[in-house]
Amino acid sequence: MAIPIGGMGIGGIILMLVLYFLTSGGLGGGGSSQPSSPSAGTTPSQPVDPANDPDRELVETVDIIMGDLQQFWGKTLGERYRPARLVLFTDATSTACGYGQTAMGPFYCPPDQKAYIDLSFYRDLERRFGAPGDFAQAYVLAHEIGHHVQNVLGIADEVRRTQAQRPEQANDLSVRMELMADCFAGVWGNSTSKRGIMEPGDVEEGLRAAAAIGDDRLQRQSGGRVAPESFTHGSSEQRARWLRIGLESGDYKKCDTFQATTL
């Protein structure tokens, strides 16, 4: 369905409690849509300390990517943009959306405007999902900041109202939001190419990562049937397609998945 979007040319925002999952019970289908309560015997971790983290090199890389994303979107959106924050954690952490755990994969929490990533996910991305590479890692963070951009653009209430009024369209709206965030990640990727930062093979790494976490592929991996009606993030083909649209256009206004007649 079309969502009125004023003069901005884009639509959609991730719901407050719709998180970005990346496990068999998470990203791409199934699982809870919000952080769980702490289980017995577990406590939230502190954010990762870069100085003492064995993944220090990865932490530094993520930090550089985050800084570049902030600069890009600040320049693109101007005064409308409010910087997001990144929280690196291990095992579990408290968030304004509830209790976040490693099994959820990376996610963005609109109330505190923070992206949350357990770095162990990046190892899963390579080993479990077969999507190695630095640009694959960058795509994941760029997707989460894409949700922040949706938040900044200020149409969350409209989408929430639509989902509340038409619950039968909740999954479709969720898919469109996720694909828009994929496209936004591609728009940023386009800027890195123009600035000579992107290396040969980076585009393929990003597209491979997007396809690896499609709902259909995750459902097959979990041994279940492919059920398009239950998709929340989009199929492998859809995710790769919208990432490519952003990569090729470099224009966030081309990412209007809510006006698209086909995804």
Q: pLDDT of 99-120, one tens digit each?
A: 888 888 899 999 999 999 998 8
94 falls within a domain: yes
262 falls within a domain: no
The pLDDT assigned to 165 comes to: 93
14 falls within a domain: no
Instruction: Centre a 10 Å sphere on the Cβ of residue 43 and count the other Cβ atoms it contains.
Output: 10
71 falls within a domain: yes
**Whether the predicted model's global pTM rises above the 0.85 cut:** no
188 falls within a domain: yes
Please give the structure tokens belonging to residue 80. 């409308």
Rounded Cα distance between 135 and 197, Å, is: 11
Return the bridge partners of 242, or none. none
45-61 average pLDDT score: 71
- What lies within 8 Å, CB to CB, of 158 at 6+ separation is 3, 4
88 falls within a domain: yes
Q: pLDDT of 112-151, one tens digit each?
A: 999 999 988 988 888 888 898 889 999 999 999 999 999 9
Label residue 17 by pLDDT band (50, 70, 90): very low
26 falls within a domain: no
Domain housing 123: 56-153+163-255
How many domains is the chain partitioned into structurally? 1
41 falls within a domain: no
